[in-house]
Amino acid sequence: MPPSRVRLVEVGPRDGLQNEPNAVSVADRVRLIEALAEAGLPAIEAGSFVSPKWVPQMAGTDQVLAALPARPGVSFPVLVPNLKGLDAALAAGAREIACFGAASESFSQKNINCSVAESLERFAAVTEAALKAGLRVRGYVSCVIDCPYEGPIQPARVAEVAQAMFDLGCYEISLGDTIGTGTPGRARAMVEAVAGRVPIERLAAHFHDTYGQALANLYAVMEAGIATIDASISGLGGCPYARGAAGNVATEDVLYMLDGLGIETGVDMDRLLAAGRLIGAVLGRPPASKVGRALAPM
């Protein structure tokens, strides 16, 4: 049985915009995040404190955080790969960070320039310092189904890395089908393997839609007990270190499915569509979300 309530985590302003060929201005990123908060999303990733040489699109995340008024009940997590990033996030007033690891060695090297074991050592230091400073820490595991360099990843390996990050003190582990190759049976088997090590209510699904399977995969993992879903407004995004990765599943499309199933989210479709139109106007293209196109004003 799918859950009666789902928490939607909006990742468009980070996962989406990090992959745009042209950087979006701080002012437009702030407008987008504000519009998403107006739609009722309880968590909106606001950016990353990573090397601007690696991901120039996320430069200025400190200014984005500074410009966002506090909103009770809404969190604005930011990605942090190391202690340097944590220092910058703390200086900018971040209240929640996300460490991002991978279940694949090659992807870890390409994405954060270190092995999985080294990344876990870094995250241990980052998590310890962040928790001491009163922040919440989320954890990502990428390549939970396939790796763009290594092919299929064993669910047992995903479970091992997820548990390691959970044991460091992450309150939630988001499972990334980074290149969107998953199908419902594999997605569910992976989640069940991870749920043997980390309580399922502490797991989130972060599915990219490269092969058009994301909604089916989400339904399959909701049946296994997943009740937190990452999604990206208008299906923005991809991953700069995963060739061919399309955007995350579109928030509008996920909301349409959840509304249709009678699953509560607290998110308002009309306002969400407005946020999609806003970023579409900035980027100069129509929304990639099917629902956004179907419900566009004539």
The answer to whether 188 and 152 are in contact (CB under 8 A) is no
Report 2-31 residues binding Mg ion (CB under 5 A). 15
Does 123 bind ligand HMG (CB under 6 A)? Our answer is: no
Give how far Cα 186 sits from Cα of 7, 65, 191, Å: 23, 37, 9
- Summarize the chain as % helix, strand, coil (round to 5): 45, 15, 35
**Which C-beta is closer to ligand HMG: that of 13 or that of 273?**
13
Give the separation between CA 248 and CA 243, rounded to whole angstroms.
14
Tokens of 49: 């404190």
- 127, 167 Cβ separation under 8 angstroms: no
Using CB under 5 A as the binding criterion, the count of chain residues that bind Mg ion stands at 1
Q: Which of 12, 81, 247, 276 binds ligand HMG (CB under 6 A)?
A: 81
**Nearer to ligand HMG (CB atom), residue 158 or residue 273:** 158
- Residue whose CB is less far from ligand HMG, 210 or 273: 210
Catalytic residue among 99, 147, 170, 239: 239
Residue 172 dihedral angles phi and psi, to the nearest 5°: -155, 145
For residues 239 and 58, is the Cβ–Cβ distance under 8 A?
no
| Residue 293 CA from chain centroid, whole number | 23
The 10 Å Cβ neighbour count of residue 296 is 14
Does position 140 bind ligand HMG by CB under 6 A?
Answer: yes
Task: Check if 239 is active-site.
Answer: yes
Amino acid in the structure at residue 279: I
Q: Does residue 157 touch ligand HMG according to CB under 6 A?
A: no
2: Cα separation from own chain's centroid: 21
Q: Is 177 in the site for Mg ion (CB under 5 A)?
A: no
Shortest CB 86 distance to ligand HMG, Å:
8
Give me the least distance between CB of 191 and Mg ion, in Å please. 17
Pick from 178, 234, 265, 289 the residue near ligand HMG by CB under 6 A. Answer: 178
User: Could you say whether residue 18 binds ligand HMG (CB under 6 A)?
Assistant: yes
Among 8, 48, 198, 217, binds ligand HMG (CB under 6 A): 48
Residue 221: closest CA among 189, 266, 259, 251: 189
Binding site for ligand HMG (CB under 6 A): 15, 18, 48-51, 54-55, 79, 81-82, 84-85, 88, 100, 111-113, 140, 142, 176, 178, 206, 208, 239, 241
Give catalytic residues, as residue numbers: 239
Interface ranges with Mg ion (CB under 5 A): 15
